[in-house]
Amino acid sequence: MSIEFSKKLTFHETPIPGVVLYDLPVHGDNRGWFKENWQREKMVALGLPDFRPVQNNVSFNEKAGTTRGIHAEPWDKFISVATGRIFGAWVDLREGPSFGAVFTAEMDASQAIFIPRGVGNAFQTLEDNTAYTYLVNDHWSADAQGQYTFLNLADESAAIVWPIGLESAELSEKDKAHPRLVDVVPMPGRKTLVIGADGQLGKALRELYDGDPSVEFAARAEFDLTNALAFTDRNWKNYSTIINAAAYTGVDTAETPEGRRAAWDINVTAVAALARTALEHDLTLVHISSDYVFDGDRDNHHEEEPFSPLGVYGQTKAAGDAIVSVVPRHYIVRTSWVIGAGNNFVRTMASLAERGIEPSVVNDQFGRLSFTEDIAAGIKHLLETGATSGTYNFSNDGDPQSWAEIAADVYELSGKPRSSVTGVSTAEYFNGKAAAPRPLNSGLDLNKIKSTGFTPRSSRSRLAAYLA
């Protein structure tokens, strides 16, 4: 069969999610032909995932009718024909609603197909001396074979109509023995790992993803960011995303010699190790930032505002943000005044109100509360919608308030008079105390996160729900 020359590079979607068939331009004359089998720039621009292949394999088949499969492997593949012609069959063997979906096509050297991890691959040669080639984005290993999923070529549910009947085709004994679809254990998807799962945000993420087996949670006992072994003892091939909810947050203690070292160790050195892991294994990295990366001289902070931290804590958070920004797929979620499960400003004020104490609270620092329940929902939204990588400000919505105004709201919602709270300046409040410098304006512009279709709830309504 002759090859069709000079096709335009185009793609064709298939019934299997993520499986895409490509027409490749082949240039030929009386001497033979030439094609760009894999051209990263053009193909990524066309929509092919930038799947970073690391190994190129070739299967040479001497006789027409040679049939191989159906094998679902724990890596992505970009498949084409070097010479000859094949009938290809692909079956979705991943967990999910498309499990069992089938796509078939005849292919020659002018076509290629992208097969995601977990989709079963099979082919039958239609000509003698056919070479079947594939790029893969992981190195083959004996250990990886235990992660394969197989389906019998003759499965009645898939109902693949082979051009050359299987009874007269050339098959291996192993392929003949593969299970029917009803007995296939679907290949699980890659997991999301939440680090710092026992902190305020970690607990909110636990609640949000409760019952989702694709999300794994690790407190410090399960994943110690400061221990290099934590990064080498895990098979990162089984993960797609890391959410880093761990951080050193002692703003004042970070100014001490011991605190300074701990802050840099957790907020910078450990984050660099996470970023390196994400780069090496092509993972998405979600990282939590802070309003403390700014000096507070502006009323409204945009994502692209240059860093201007005042203290050690802010400096370490800014350094961590800069590191994470080099990861191709990253989300830096910048928050302010975080409120969740555990000790925090709102709980402290509610306790004081209950005990009838009338506190003095800072009235010249302005910002918005960020409730962890909403931060977690925002993170899930960014991941599920595939929003453009980058930094996203996140707090609850509404007009910025001072700490004193928020404290008065807490007292009012607790049935106490707002006048129980006395406002004082930052300088007055910290007079004679060892304290880190704080930004006076922590308001974060929320237009970017809203442009993705996510609108944070108002700070005042969330405060009322939190106290209730």
List the domain boundaries for the chain. 10-183, 191-467
Class of domain 10-183: mainly beta
With bands split at pLDDT 50, 70 and 90, how would you rate the model's confidence at 235?
confident
Instruction: Provide mean pLDDT across the span 132-144.
Output: 84
Mean pLDDT of the chain: 94
Provide the whole-model pTM.
0.88
CA distance 261 to 257: 6
pLDDT, one tens digit per residue, over 263-292 is: 999 999 999 999 999 999 999 999 999 999
Question: Is residue 27 flagged as an active site residue?
Answer: no
With bands split at pLDDT 50, 70 and 90, how would you rate the model's confidence at 31?
confident
Instruction: Provide mean pLDDT across the span 89-99.
Output: 96
35 has pLDDT over 70: yes
With bands split at pLDDT 50, 70 and 90, how would you rate the model's confidence at 142?
low
Q: Select from 371, 290, 377, 292 the least CA-distant residue to 338.
A: 371
With bands split at pLDDT 50, 70 and 90, how would you rate the model's confidence at 176?
very high
Runs of H (alpha helix) within 245-311: 257-264, 270-281
204 has pLDDT over 80: yes
Identity (one letter) of the amino acid at 46? L
In three-state secondary structure terms, 236 is helix
Contact call for residues 283 and 239 (beta carbons, < 8 A):
yes
- To the nearest whole percent, how much of the chain has pLDDT over 90? 90
Query: Quick one: pLDDT at residue 144?
Result: 64
Query: Quick one: pLDDT at residue 2?
Result: 67
CA distance 166 to 169: 5
Count of residues in the chain: 468
Q: Select from 302, 389, 407 the least CA-distant residue to 349.
A: 407
With bands split at pLDDT 50, 70 and 90, how would you rate the model's confidence at 154?
very high
Q: Which candidate in 22, 132, 134, 248 is catalytic?
A: 134
Q: Which candidate in 71, 178, 287, 330 is catalytic?
A: 71
Q: Which CATH architecture has domain 191-467?
A: 3-Layer(aba) Sandwich (3.40)
166 has pLDDT over 80: yes
Question: Is residue 134 flagged as an active site residue?
Answer: yes
